[in-house]
């Protein structure tokens, strides 16, 4: 067993917590206490069902104390946590903001696993926003936590490709696959006192806000590939509005040339030759093709004449 005493923070039912916790246990990490954030308090863009043992069940099975405060700013929680004298706190998917009172407890600091290439996509729902913005690369950043939101020095990074057609779940899986080997390296470096520290470039810091309904409206001023990536991430969730009606896109595609015309109006559909089965919108790069859409009542409507 490693000598570094760890307090492990996570969220019940979240794979970033349970999958990495399993790897910490396989590597015989010295976990002395758990802190759990209840998942019902938070929203997630992933709908994948948990396939690993939850943090609460793990604590019960191993007989390790676990705290589940409704607020991480709870002073009683901070005092009880401090009584375990952890050398370091490891955070994997713990969704409460961690206050300075807790940050000061472990002498080796707090280390967080964050699913983006910091300093890009700090904050909430990093994989959703990675796809939403059309990024080509993402990964896992393991970093120290400070009083900012995902602003601390970087220890490790992995990098994976973002592919057209990725869902939130597919991309999370790829990121987690890349980051699992970091667990053993982290434990070794902690015990040997050789953790790297690379300050983040704050000029590139990019914070994610909470997702709202407007973020699901398709903006045809964006390239077709970005719009297709959004739709394929969550089919039936992204929409466009036309003639005061809203249509939710279920299937889409990209074509290079839809018409010989050279003048287009943003947000107005054009006909794909004589094919009335498709709805096509011009974008700054390529043409966005809607193959299937639903109206507000869930009825299929994907023929051009419905939109003329």
Q: What does the pLDDT look like over 26-66, one tens digit per residue?
A: 999 999 999 999 766 556 665 666 679 999 999 999 999 99
The C-alpha atoms of residue 173 and residue 154 are separated, in whole angstroms, by 22
* Three-state DSSP class for residue 100: helix
pLDDT over 70 for what percent of the chain?
A: 90
The C-alpha atoms of residue 137 and residue 120 are separated, in whole angstroms, by 11
**Predicted TM-score of the model (pTM):** 0.91
**Mean pLDDT, residues 175-203:** 97
Label the pairing between strands 137-138 and 160-161: antiparallel
Contact 7, 106 (CB under 8 A): yes
Give the Å distances, CA to CA, from 118 to 88, 103, 215, 234. Answer: 21, 20, 22, 24
198: which DSSP letter?
B
Residue whose structure tokens are 């590139």: 204
pLDDT for 275 equals 52
What is the chain's mean pLDDT, rounded? 91
Domains and CATH numbers, the chain: 5-208 (3.40.50.170), 213-306 (3.10.25.10)
């Amino acid at each position: 067993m490693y000598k570094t005493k760890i307090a492990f923070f996570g969220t019940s039912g979240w794979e970033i917590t349970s999958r990495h916790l399993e790897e910490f246990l396989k590597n015989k990490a010295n976990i002395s206490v758990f802190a759990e954030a209840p998942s019902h308090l938070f929203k997630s863009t992933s709908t994948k069902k948990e396939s690993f043992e939850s943090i609460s069940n793990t604590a019960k099975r191993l007989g390790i104390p676990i705290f589940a405060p409704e607020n991480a700013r709870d002073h009683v929680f901070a005092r009880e946590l401090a009584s375990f004298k952890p050398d370091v706190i490891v955070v994997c998917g713990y969704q409460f903001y961690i206050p300075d009172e807790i940050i000061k407890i472990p002498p080796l600091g707090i280390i967080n696993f964050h699913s983006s290439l910091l300093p890009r996509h700090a904050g909430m729902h990093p994989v959703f926003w990675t796809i939403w913005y059309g990024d080509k690369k993402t990964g896992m950043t393991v970093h120290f936590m400070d009083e900012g939101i995902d602003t601390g020095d970087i220890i490790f990074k992995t990098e994976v490709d973002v592919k057209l057609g990725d869902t939130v779940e597919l991309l999370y899986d790829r990121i987690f696959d890349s980051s699992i080997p970091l667990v053993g390296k982290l434990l070794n470096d902690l015990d040997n006192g050789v953790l790297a520290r690379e300050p983040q470039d704050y000029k590139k810091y990019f914070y994610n806000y909470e997702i709202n309904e407007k973020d699901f409206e398709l903006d045809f001023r964006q390239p077709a590939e970005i719009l297709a990536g959004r739709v394929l991430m969550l089919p039936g969730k992204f929409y466009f509005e036309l003639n005061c009606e809203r249509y939710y896109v279920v299937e889409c595609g990209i074509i290079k040339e839809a018409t010989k015309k050279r003048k287009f109006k943003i947000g107005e559909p054009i006909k794909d030759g004589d094919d009335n089965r498709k709805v096509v919108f011009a974008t700054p790069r390529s043409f966005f093709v809607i193959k299937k859409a639903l109206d507000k009542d869930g009825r299929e409507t994907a023929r051009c004449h419905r939109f003329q």
